[in-house]
Amino acid sequence: MPASISETPPAGIALFDLDGTLIAWDCQLLFRHFVVRREPWRRIFLPVFLAFLPLAGLLEAAGMKRVFLSYLWRMDRETLAGYSREFAAALMPAIYPELRGKLERHRAAGHFLILASASPEFYVAEIGRELGFDLTLGTPVELGAFFPDLENNKGAAKVERLKEILPASYFENGKLRHCHGYTDSCADLPMLALCDSVTVVNPSPRLTAIAEKSGWEIVRPERPWKCRIGFARRALALLLGLGQSST
């Protein structure tokens, strides 16, 4: 985050989700692949995650995220920081060109750029720096325990953090002033409620219906898979740390 945020509201605000919005994949899968390719022994933690999958409904997203991140057990902060910087730089070619163009148009207009993601903040912060965001928020993670502590920055939590961090002058009548929101997920509907206008990216049928009813823009950039089988094969390879690092 920036050292300080001006109290004077900007001409406009652009509020972006990350996974599925700026990139096709879930960054958690990509970062795991990036790490395991460099430290193959960390594959041994995959059975732990698989063992907990039947409990996903009970543990919910935050709990499963803690289990998933067990592969980072005993990684020191310096190594994690280095991997995060390298990962963010390597990820840039995978940013959807259409969304990169929209981001640059907001920047040229002098808008305040916010990246709000549920992915771990240790690498989301680096992605935000690479892309030149003014404010970047991810899920804060405290490594140390086998299942690290975290505060899941998802859904309504994104709204709460934005209200905590941004000056009150950035809000008007319960919304961010002159804000355009971008997401691919219904989980971000609380965040989109802060926006005057919205673009949804490769939306699900449910989000498509909401977008059409609300008059939101719908964009469908090309994904790096052609069918569900292709997606499943690549997702499995990422999970196992197999294949090249290209997304």
Give tens-digit pLDDT for 96-124.
Answer: 999 999 999 999 999 999 999 999 999 99
Q: Count the Cβ atoms, other than its own, within 10 Å of residue 76.
A: 9
Q: Count the Cβ atoms, other than its own, within 10 Å of residue 23.
A: 23
Residue 5 lies in a domain: no
Residue 96 lies in a domain: yes
pLDDT > 80? residue 81: yes
Backbone angles phi, psi at 10, to 5 degrees: -75, 175
Q: Count the Cβ atoms, other than its own, within 10 Å of residue 130.
A: 16
Distance in angstroms (rounded) separating the CA atoms of residues 211 and 219: 11
Residue 1 lies in a domain: no
Residue 81 lies in a domain: yes
The overall average pLDDT reported for the chain is 95
Domain residue limits at 150: 13-240
What is the maximal distance between C-alpha atoms in the chain? 52
Number of domains in the chain: 1
CATH number of the domain within which 229 lies: 3.40.50.1000
pLDDT > 80? residue 2: no
If DSSP states are collapsed to H, E and C, what string results for 48-77? HHHHHHHHHHHHHHHHHHHHHHHHHCCCCH
Residue 66 lies in a domain: yes
Residue 2 lies in a domain: no
Conformational region of residue 243, where left means phi above 0, alpha means psi within -120 to 50, and beta covers everything else: left
User: Confidence class of residue 246 from pLDDT cuts 50, 70 and 90?
Assistant: low
Beta bridge partners of 14: 113, 180
This prediction has a pTM of 0.94
User: Confidence class of residue 73 from pLDDT cuts 50, 70 and 90?
Assistant: very high
* Radius of gyration for the alpha carbons in the chain, expressed in angstroms and rounded: 18
